[in-house]
Amino acid sequence: MESATLLHTIWFALIAILWIGYFVLDGFDLGVGTLIRFIGTDDLRRRVMINTIGPVWDGNEVWLLVAGGATFAAFPLWYATMFSGYYLALFVLLLALILRGVAFEYRGKKDSARWRSNWDWAIFTGSVLPAVLFGVAFGNIVSGSQIQPTESGSGFVGAGALNYTGTPLLSLLGPFPLLLGAMTLLVFTTHGAIFLMLKTSGEVRQAARRVAQRLGLVAAMVSVAALLWAQAFSGRVAVTLPIVLVAATTWVISWLMVVRGRDGWAFTLSSVTIALSVAALFIGLFPRVMPSSIDTAYDLTVMNASSSPYTLTVMTVVAVVMTPIVLAYQGWTYWVFRKRLSTSMIPAPSVTGRADDRFAGSAEPAPRSG
């Protein structure tokens, strides 16, 4: 097999980092959206929950856009194969994310309990579906997809020289992908509950703490099962298995911090757990980007799926310049909106106000935590 160059390795690692950033950041706001029908037992609580992610949810989704764009530019054959094979699942995922974004903006546009409840269900649906489908998609990437050369092609390498032979949706719903989908849903929901502990006070924080305590143990068991199963597909078990064990340890410590009420440490450690889990999946995949379940000779790798060296070089220069700027801006956003929220800060609904009144009310200093 042809060896990966430094540029191939850099861009594979960068795409992995972008997915880590997305799962850590958008993971908690997908979790908050999932919990809106459970912790949000009344409209006041639901408004507090939405306000915690109101200033940041759309910024978090930028990580997904950049990850997709980087994949398209650096490894176009990987991008094309994934979207042609997973197009129905990805179409549903994108619709769910669009529905969720619209719901945030429209739920407060009409002074009607039924109107707001319908949009809250849209937030719930638009959070649960992506949380599951991301896990299912990664499960199929890790375990292998039904890809092979086209009969008329002159070889596997090159645009148009491959074919996805699986059923558009049913082929994706194998036992391992579904288990990984259950893992991402449970982990994101727990991560969201911990975020609510960090960002709220009063009754919402207490409800979130109870959810994190109960759901965290279930998420731990499912995650250990999924990540250990993933070792069967890993090309570097000697590296990935220790990472998985460390991830399990940090999750347990995070759960202990939840029990002790150390919100900052609990959120930091749950973020570390997600980062380590995604890193383990990518490290086990390298240098493959999309294994074939038909024949390993048809695997897509960082070499045969990549753009030209010149393209990768130009992209590297752009990334070096722009990435610190983006990180600085997003960090500043989180710093500005770092205060805790409570139901006492939420004003009465107003048809003329913003959709979720996420900037309404005065902010009090955040209690020390972690």
If we measure between CA atoms, which residue out of 116, 127, 111 comes closest to residue 26? 127
| CB 137, CB 83: distance < 8 Å | no
CA-CA distance, 113 to 125, in Å (whole number)?
18
CA nearest 226: which of 249, 244, 246? Answer: 244
Instruction: Say what the alpha-carbon torsion angle 177, 76, 88, 115 is, to the nearest 10 degrees.
Output: 100
Render pLDDT for 111-125 as a digit per residue (tens, 0 to 9): 888 999 999 999 999
How is residue 4 annotated by DSSP? P
- 3-state class of 156 per DSSP? coil
* Spans of the chain below 70 pLDDT: 1-4, 150-171, 344, 346-370
CB 345 within 8 A of CB 363: yes
Q: Where are the alpha helices (DSSP H) in 75-168?
A: 76-85, 87-106, 113-143
- Identify the CA nearest to 135 among candidates 226, 47, 53: 226
Quote the pLDDT of residue 159: 42
Ramachandran area for residue 110 (φ above 0: left; ψ -120 to 50: alpha; else beta):
beta
Predicted local distance difference test score (pLDDT) of residue 170: 61
Asked if residue 306 lies in contact with residue 81, where contact means CB atoms within 8 angstroms, the answer is no
Taking 3-state DSSP, the helix, strand and coil percentages for the chain, each rounded to the nearest 5, stand at 70, 5, 25
pLDDT at residue number 80: 87
Reduced to 3 states (helix: H, G, I; strand: E, B; else coil), residue 305 is coil
pTM of this structure: 0.86
CA 133 to chain centre: 10
- Report d(CA 303, CA 296) in Å as an integer: 15
pLDDT at res. 162: 61
Q: How many residues does this entry show for the chain?
A: 370
Hey, is 206 helix, strand or coil? Answer: helix
Interior/surface letters 100-138, b for 16+ CB within 10 angstroms, e for the rest = bbebbebbbbeeeeeebeebbebbbbbbbbbbbbbbbbb
Compute the Cα dihedral for 71, 327, 25, 216 and give only its sign.
positive
What's the CA gap between 295 and 141, in Å, rounded? 14
Q: What is the C-alpha separation between 82 and 131, in angstroms, rounded?
A: 18
Residue 43 confidence (pLDDT)? 86
Structure tokens at 255: 């759960």
| pLDDT value of position 58 | 86
Summarize pLDDT for 306-319 with one digit per residue, the tens: 888 899 999 999 99
d(CA 293, CA 300): 11
Say whether the peptide bond before residue 347 is cis (omega within 30 degrees of 0).
Answer: no
Distance CA 177, CA 281 (A): 13
pLDDT score, position 166? 63
Residue 162 is which amino acid? L
